[in-house]
Amino acid sequence: MAYGSVDQLQKALTRDVFHYAKDAKKAAGRALGTLVEIITFYALKAWGLEKNVAIERPLPEFANDDITHNVEYSLHPSTSTAELEFHRDALPLTARKILRNKQFAPFAIPAESLKKGKTLLSKKLILRNSCSICELGPIFLNAYLGTMGEDTGKYDVMSLHRRPFAIFECKRVGIEEGTRKGPQTIEKAKQGAYVARTVSALQKIRLSDGSMGGFIQKRDGVFRHGDYYELMAEVIGSNDPDLLARFILTVGVVSNHGNWFTSENHNKELKVLAQSYDWLLFLTDAGIGQFIEELLLHPAKELEPAREAFLASYTGKKGVNRFTKVKIALSADAALQSFFSARIQAIEGWFNVIAPPSKGLAVLKEELQTLRSKNWKELHK
């Protein structure tokens, strides 16, 4: 990385991109947070999990539906409902327009279930990732763009179970250069830790020797307990609906806010998160630095559409953002998908695993695929 730290990268963005902003440094910091979310989302796409992903859905706490928390990415049991074609002249692809298709007649979808204002693809070719189009009790329907040619394209409508099998959340932690204290980041870490510890049926408890124990209650009231990570592996590997139906694998992705800790030298925020999420991944300075170098500072030719979308989104004008995890220019999405697909092995090297101890990213990918392939229709009966 040409820049020695994330702070130096933020300075470069402040100078070269966000010079127009009233608080250019804060604007650059927010953009860095967006880039962490983008890296996480396109890694999930490269792992073949896109059609399980919902974005910013409220997730209830375990056995406490009165309290919900929005999570950045939730991965849900998913089945194909329809694969549909469209002509470019038919844009925009709104939720209402999608549900008019005769294939959805058997659903008898009531008008109040429709997600108003949700558009999969606009006339200006702005894509909504993981576009929710309606709610139907225990399931909801999401639309995902497939291929897009010069005149025609295809999209998939998937039926997703309301309860996810995994969640991903992104956090930037640490003290920014020039400040003496960082109360906001520790509070954000605590908020993330609270969500991670309250949404799954598998509960964590600290044992007297400092190790992490776990327990989960079956429907007959019997408790299963033991070493947390051994119990978690048992749950993931099982086909017992009592263990799986309300289990959620929690994954945190953290990046440095300042250059005062590393994945080996943990600060307080990192320690709080590591003991709360099932998996905690550290996006290294070198990793995010390489992405910013190739996207913005010394752009790779193949990422030029993504760079254009990024720069067009940060002009100081409201309502023009076309480079977020939710909405992104179609050309930028295609460029990022190609970039991540071709380089996914190298990109996986941008992440260090902080928790669980002594496990690699390959194990997380295997656990996600195992959960994804369960017979959830039977498990949720």
The one-letter code for the residue type at 196 is A
Considering its fold, how many domains does the chain have in total? 2
Cis peptide before 357 (omega within 30 of 0): no
| Owning domain of residue 125 | 78-161
Same domain, yes or no: 280 and 371: yes
CA-CA-CA-CA dihedral for 88, 160, 68, 322, to nearest 10: -20
At 367 the pLDDT is 98
Count CA atoms within 13 Å of residue 294 on its CB side.
17
Residues 136 and 186 in one domain: no
Which backbone phi and psi does 38 adopt, to 5 degrees?
Answer: -65, -45
Nearest CA-CA partner of 249 in 69, 371, 159: 371
pTM of the model: 0.93
Q: Where among 141, 161, 181 does a domain terminate?
A: 161
What single letter denotes the amino acid at residue 374?
K
Four-CA torsion 123, 126, 128, 134, nearest 10 degrees: -10
Q: Both 138 and 247 in a single domain?
A: no
Q: What per-residue confidence (pLDDT) applies to 173?
A: 67
Tell me the chain's radius of gyration from C-alpha atoms: 21
143 occurs within a structural domain: yes
* pLDDT for 244: 94
Q: Is residue 210 part of a domain?
A: yes
- State whether 173 and 277 are in the same domain: yes
- State the pLDDT at residue 181: 46
CA dist., res. 201 & res. 161, Å (int): 17
Could you tell me if 182 and 271 lie in one domain?
A: yes
333-356 residue pLDDT tens: 999 999 999 999 999 999 999 999
Give the model's pLDDT for residue 358.
85
Asked which of 145, 161, 177 is the last residue of a domain, the reply is 161
> What is the three-class DSSP state of 311?
helix
Q: Say whether both 152 and 185 belong to one domain.
A: no
Let me know: does 349 contact 43? Beta carbons within 8 Å.
Answer: no
Q: Tokens for 108?
A: 């008898």
Which tokens in the block code for residue 172?
A: 């930037």
Low-confidence residues of the chain: pLDDT under 50: 1, 178-183, 259-260
Out of 161, 190, 212, a domain closes at 161
Asked whether residue 281 falls in the same domain as residue 369, the answer is yes
Pull the structure tokens for residue 366: 């295997």
Judge whether 298 lies within some domain.
Answer: no
Check whether residue 148 and residue 172 sit in a common domain.
no
pLDDT at 259: 45
